[in-house]
Amino acid sequence: MMKTLLVLYLCLYVTWAQEVLEYDDYDPDNKAAAKNTTSEGTAVDARGHRPVSSGRDSYSPNRYAPPPITSGQRYRGRPTPAPVGSQVQEKEEQPDAGGCTHASEAMGALCPTGCELKNALLKQEKNVKAVIVELKPQIEELSRSSNNVYNYVNGISNSLRERQRVFDNNNQAVSQYTDQVEEQHAYIKETVDTIFPSNIRVLQGVLDKIRLKIQKLEKAILSQNEQCRDPCITKCPIPVVSGKECEDIYRRGGRDSQMYLIQPDPLFPPYKVFCDQTSQNGGWVLIQNRLDGSVDFGRRWDDYRRGFGNIAFKSSKRFCETPGEYWLGNDRISHLSKMGPTEVLIEMQDWTGAKVYAQYQQFTIQTETSNYVMAVNGYSGNAGNCFLEGALELYGENRTMTIHNGMMFSTYDRDNDNWTPGDPSKQCAREDGGGWWYNRCHSANPNGRYYIGGAYTSKMTKHGTDDGVVWMNWKGSWYSLKAISMKIRPFYASR
């Protein structure tokens, strides 16, 4: 029982330690269970989504084997042989007692006649009979006493044998219990001497890393406090030129990339957007922008519906020519994309300064009634076609699960993904840090958590998943991009 409790405790302890140390750890060097295998036999990391099947946990048998049983007896000692009976003494041949012919030392000096001897014997017989009659009751009483004593001794002997058997059984039980105690002591000693110190060392290493992170965060907070003593106030004039969208503004003479007012529908009030009038001949409405992690994208459904973040900041020219981090809003994105053929440009940059892009000639977002279903087509670029093909490092159904085309929009409070719909414990948006058109779960995660430096690990994440600003077909699951932006404009064939 004690050993079973110890094994259960160790299992729970190791599970907890792994949760702390390697929660959902999908390091390709350590977890083959979370990998898929290509036709050439090479293994790849499958953490752009949640695989339909995972490897089985390996079983490590107990290294301590119980020793052979060395105590306890199966037989008692052999019985001793019965003693040999005494020999009957032969009757001494007496000489003839019929007269005085012969002399006999046994008969005395005189030699009586046969009649005298008979009379003497008869006389002695009377005396002897009286004694015999007197002794007979005593002999019978002695016989009865002897029988009682015999029965008593026999009972004591049987009781002694029974007590000996119980004693032997108790010795055997005590011996077995001693063996079990010794076995458990050896098991506990091995656990205390080997497993606990190893786990303590691992936890101590994690604790040291956490302390370093806390120190870095404290320094970063102090630095931010120094920089944010004065409130951030953005005041810059809105350009005079405006239009239905950035393409209309470009045609009206607004050639500078900055913040403008647009009014796609005259029945609704205008709103601010950042227009990119430089990339590929301009006309782009910036609908999403990540560049420094200053805005939290782990928002609710209503925030993504309305939009959030900072449109732009003032520059040296007194205009808002520096875009901020923001999401335009699903209602506005849907309205702009449904006004006519629309293309989308996704530009991204890593922490070395390298830049790539993905462009789709068709891009449409449906209304909230359909949960903002996304549809794209016509890919070009050098970043990799995540929306239509999924993660290229995966194969078969696992790749299909990373395609974003045709998916509904999901946030942590509105689960619309394909990973067990309705199960609150299996939500892509909750694990991967932001609202997005998740499948099960992603090959691209532009609205994920912002990690400084690029490469990150499962130990740094909240749920152990690849929740960074990810574009798998360029940098893989465990590289968070420095910057990424999404821009849309009307599409026409003469471009």
Amino acid in position 192: V
pLDDT over 50 at 347, yes or no: yes
Q: Is residue 250 located within the same domain as residue 376?
A: yes
pLDDT over 80 at 108, yes or no: no
Averaged pLDDT, 54-64: 37
Q: Is residue 431 located within the same domain as residue 465?
A: yes
Lowest mean pLDDT, pick from 38-47, 359-368, 398-407, 440-449: 38-47
Q: Is residue 263 located within the same domain as residue 226?
A: no
pLDDT band at residue 110 using 50, 70 and 90 as cut-offs:
low
Percent of the chain with pLDDT over 90: 40
**Residue 14 class from Cβ within 10 Å (0-12 exposed, 13-18 middle, 19+ buried)?**
middle
Q: Is residue 213 located within the same domain as residue 286?
A: no
**96 found inside a domain:** no
pLDDT over 70 at 76, yes or no: no
Q: Which residues contact 270 (CB under 8 A, 6 or more apart)?
A: 242, 261, 262, 263
**263 found inside a domain:** yes
Residue 456 Cα to chain centre, angstroms = 21
Domain span at 451: 246-490
| C-beta separation of 46 from 35 below 8 A | yes
Averaged pLDDT, 197-209: 86
Q: How many domains does the chain have?
A: 2
Mean pLDDT of the chain: 79
Give the per-residue pLDDT at 74: 39
Q: Is residue 183 located within the same domain as residue 272?
A: no
Peptide bond into 441 cis (omega under 30): yes
**113 found inside a domain:** no
**32 found inside a domain:** yes
Give the per-residue pLDDT at 43: 42
Averaged pLDDT, 298-326: 88
**110 found inside a domain:** no
Q: Is residue 177 located within the same domain as residue 314?
A: no
**Residue 349 class from Cβ within 10 Å (0-12 exposed, 13-18 middle, 19+ buried)?**
middle
Q: Rounded CA gap, 468 and 484, in Å? A: 12
**306 found inside a domain:** yes
Q: Is residue 255 located within the same domain as residue 188?
A: no
Q: Rounded CA gap, 372 and 442, in Å? A: 17
Identify the domain boundary among 205, 231, 257.
231
Averaged pLDDT, 380-402: 91
CATH number of the domain residue 483 falls in: 3.90.215.10
| Structure tokens given for 80 | 């001793």
pLDDT band at residue 146 using 50, 70 and 90 as cut-offs:
confident
Q: Rounded CA gap, 415 and 423, in Å? A: 9
pLDDT band at residue 188 using 50, 70 and 90 as cut-offs:
confident
Quick: pLDDT tens for 229-249.
665 555 677 888 889 999 999
Residue with tokens 């750890």: 25
Q: Rounded CA gap, 38 and 149, in Å? A: 93
Instruction: Give Rg (Cα) of the chain.
Output: 51
Q: Rounded CA gap, 400 and 402, in Å? A: 5
Q: Is residue 281 located within the same domain as residue 319?
A: yes
pLDDT band at residue 124 using 50, 70 and 90 as cut-offs:
confident
**134 found inside a domain:** no
Residue with tokens 């810059």: 236
Q: Rounded CA gap, 279 and 348, in Å? A: 13
pLDDT band at residue 73 using 50, 70 and 90 as cut-offs:
very low
pLDDT band at residue 409 using 50, 70 and 90 as cut-offs:
very high
Averaged pLDDT, 6-29: 44
Distances in whole angstroms, Cα of residue 293 to Cα of each of 22, 167, 327, 457: 25, 78, 13, 18
Closest CA to 433 of 410, 454, 452: 410
pLDDT over 70 at 39, yes or no: no
Quick: pLDDT tens for 470-480.
999 999 999 99
Identify the domain boundary among 185, 200, 231.
231
Number of H helices and number of E strands within the chain? 10, 15
**123 found inside a domain:** no
Q: Is residue 323 located within the same domain as residue 174?
A: no
Hey, is 164 helix, strand or coil? Answer: helix
Q: Is residue 186 located within the same domain as residue 251?
A: no
Residue with tokens 């209503």: 302
Q: Is residue 201 located within the same domain as residue 262?
A: no
Buried b (16+ CB within 10 A) or exposed e, 134-161: eeeeeeeeeeeeeeeeeeeeeeeeeeee
Identify the domain boundary among 231, 255, 286.
231
Q: Is residue 165 located within the same domain as residue 293?
A: no
